[in-house]
Amino acid sequence: MSICVLCDLWPPYWPRRNARLHPHRLSQSTYTAGIKVTLSSSLQLLQEVKMAEEDIQAKLQNYRTAPFDARFPNSNQTRNCWSNYLDFYRCQKALDAKGVDTGPCDWYKRVFTSICPISWVQKWNDQREEGNFPGKI
């Protein structure tokens, strides 16, 4: 008994003919009888965007510390700190320009607060205020 109810109704013979018509594959765009099925793919996109937002809220609530980032696998995490600091302010700037809530950007703020030395963050904040900040925001 699987979680996919439709799969249980799948004819139990082997090998499966018409595998293109398998319930799990109908939602991707495939050619079934020559007609491209794309209706459910746009619904899927909408669902994915909503899920992404809920994911971020869930991630922010369950946050303990900065997770492993494959871009910076070694013990020198300087670039990780720099990248997240830049990403936070870029995200704020981009979402402000779009007029959207900048809540999701908090993920970057939590990460750089976890890994950056406080003196660096203070120095960069001062540089940003003075207009001396060396990074591109």
Partner 1 sequence: MLGMLRKQLKGHPALIPLLFFIGGGAAMSMGYLARLALRNPDVCWDKTNNPEPWNKMDPTHQYKFYAINMDYSKLKKQGPDF
Stretch that binds partner 1, among 9-17, 34-42, 68-76, 116-124 (CB under 8 A): 68-76
Q: How many CA atoms lie within 13 A of 34 on its CB side?
A: 0
Q: Are strands 35-36 and 31-32 parallel, antiparallel or unpaired?
A: antiparallel
The residue to which tokens 């900048």 are assigned? 102
Binding pattern for the stretch 25-64 against partner 1, x by CB under 8 A and - elsewhere: ---------------------------x---x--x-----
Binding residue for partner 1 (CB under 8 A) from 11, 15, 34, 67? Answer: 67
Stretch that binds partner 1, among 6-14, 21-29, 33-41, 101-109 (CB under 8 A): 101-109
Binding of partner 1 at residue 115 (CB under 8 A)? no
Give the single-character DSSP code of 32.
Answer: E
The DSSP line for 76-108 is: --HHHHHHHHHHHHHHHHHHHHHT---GGGHHH
Binding of partner 1 at residue 73 (CB under 8 A)? yes
Binding residue for partner 1 (CB under 8 A) from 10, 26, 44, 69? Answer: 69
Among residues 103 and 117, whose Cβ is nearest to partner 1? 103
Nearest Cα to 66, choosing from 88, 38, 45, 49? Answer: 88
